[in-house]
Structure 1
């Protein structure tokens, strides 16, 4: 019996020692962790309210029509300029043919007006030349009239002869006035023709603009990728009617890189500045550390950029710690950051100034 009792006492002493050892070890771990946490709290600002961001651009339709072809699939990687969607353009081609026919008719009308203007100009030139001839004839008739008038006073000519000369003088004056009026009328027609040419030319320009606009719309029937990236979910079907300005899908832009948006408390941002180094850990890859630097601090709290910013002057007020969005640029090599995707949660640590 004594042997069994001693054996139990020895086991109890060993158990107590092990318990004390474990408790001491746990205490030391807690002390070390607490000291580490205190040092980290004193030297660093940290937040887990952070996410990976990328530009996600909408693919918009710039024309109305039925979908003829879809050349992308869900989550497909595409290059800038790759064709994504083809819209049926038969109706637009018919509109182009009609517009081109209207343009040809407008050009023909312009040529007719220009030809009429040339005829009017030639007629005015003839009238202008006739004015000089008529004026010379009038001058001669006037000289004869004055000479015969003197001769009649001296009774050197007969009354009949004088009246004949006078009639010729009156006819010459009338002819001169007629040809002057004819020239003035022709000049007026030239001005009218110039106006008609300007109107016809403007009509041609308007028809050309219509043709150019339809040709531009034809280019819109082929929708291409605006940048290198990865397509989102495909929601289109062949034969579907789409409207101008409709969103056809989304592309994650890979040309403009990735960054982190970390929302720090307003009590933390006083210890930060642009260009400051940052350490980032992402929940999806907990064993990796990514390097970055502060690119910019928001000029206002996140709530101020919301659709309905809060108004604290409405009576009941509860003070809530606000957060400032901080944009962090990833400075690691693209080969390392390519596995990061928009929306991933991250933890950000910044050394205090």
Structure 2
């Protein structure tokens, strides 16, 4: 409400207090209240800004929200009908891997350790080096025996060639002896004819018969020499075969020595991460002793535990979806 007249306030003095019967300190004077003048405000001619119409905004937002809700419900319903009702889930699952125990195959002192715990290694990377002095000497010894056996084989082979030459010589000697025997036989026959015709004496016939007997004896001796030479070849051939067998055994021993020498360097069988190291430089290790663990980084698998009532809905080869807490809830698919 507005008015055109001004109003003034009436000022009155504050009454003085009455004197007290007892003497008291005078009270401080309180100044008189100043007049308060009220000035009326002039009437405002400006109009307030127009308020936006709320009805039109609501009519636009509510249908959008309804459509979005229906779309979300339809999408979740579709996912449930096509996938969700067939899914079996559990949170009792663990990531596992078939780790390998790093162990030596030979006995020896550790010369160097080339890995630390939690270190990533590649397949074939050296992990542990064992002193190879004794194993290198064993390999050199087998090589020396092989060289000696090779020379033995060469000697026996030369003896076989000589024996074959002896056989040929004995056979040639037999041919000569056979010719002499034939000649002695013809001489005997002529001597018999001459004696029967009283041209030659009996002593001539006796000499001819003796020559025939000697030729036949020499012929038997030639056959014996041939047989002996052939038998010698057989013996030498058996010695050669035996030496070859010994050489094969020596080569197997050489392969074993080389294999033992290769075992002085223990290598990673596959890519992975090392752990549980229990070996130091200078340790004496034995075959089968566990020195460390190697956990693969690629061949991992998940062991999930389900309830008995969930097992009918699980089959080999089914597609699975896995979410890992350590991966901030990110998931991946598997079989």
TM-score normalised by the chain length of structure 2: 0.70
Contact 2:110 2:280 in 1 (8 A): yes
Aligned equivalent of 1:265: 307
Q: Report the CA distance shift for 1:41/1:108 in structure 2 as closer, same or farther (over 3 A).
A: closer
Aligned equivalent of 2:58: none
| 1:182-331 matches, cutoff 5 A | 182-256=225-299, 258-285=300-327, 287-294=328-335
Aligned equivalent of 2:4: none
Displacement of 1:44 after TM fit? 4.0
Displacement of 1:56 after TM fit? 1.3
Aligned partners of 1:160, 1:276: CA distance in 2, in Å?
118
Displacement of 1:109 after TM fit? 2.2
Aligned partners of 2:113, 2:198: CA distance in 1, in Å?
110
Deviations 1:194-214 (A, max 9, x none): 001101111122112212211
| 1:52-91 matches, cutoff 5 A | 52-91=95-134
Please give the secondary structure, in 2, of the residue aligned with 1:252.
Answer: strand
Aligned equivalent of 1:152: 195
Aligned equivalent of 2:91: 48
Unaligned runs of 5+ in 2: 1-80
Aligned equivalent of 2:166: 123
Residue range with higher mean Cα deviation, 40-49 or 157-166: 40-49
Aligned partners of 1:90, 1:289: CA distance in 2, in Å?
53
Unaligned runs of 5+ in 1: 1-38, 295-353
Please give the secondary structure, in 1, of the residue aligned with 2:291.
Answer: strand
Aligned partners of 1:92, 1:208: CA distance in 2, in Å?
16
Contact 1:62 1:220 in 2 (8 A): yes
Contact 1:277 1:291 in 2 (8 A): no
| 1:100-139 matches, cutoff 5 A | 100-139=143-182
Displacement of 1:226 after TM fit? 1.4
Displacement of 1:41 after TM fit? 10
Deviations 1:93-116 (A, max 9, x none): 222222222222222222222222
Aligned partners of 2:285, 2:223: CA distance in 1, in Å?
67
RMSD across aligned C-alpha pairs, in angstroms?
Answer: 2.4
Displacement of 1:86 after TM fit? 0.5
May I ask how many residue pairs the two structures share in their alignment?
Answer: 256
Aligned partners of 1:155, 1:271: CA distance in 2, in Å?
129
Instruction: Pick one of 146, 169, 179 that aligns with 2:212.
Output: 169
Q: Report the CA distance shift for 1:142/1:265 in structure 2 as closer, same or farther (over 3 A).
A: farther
Displacement of 1:246 after TM fit? 2.8
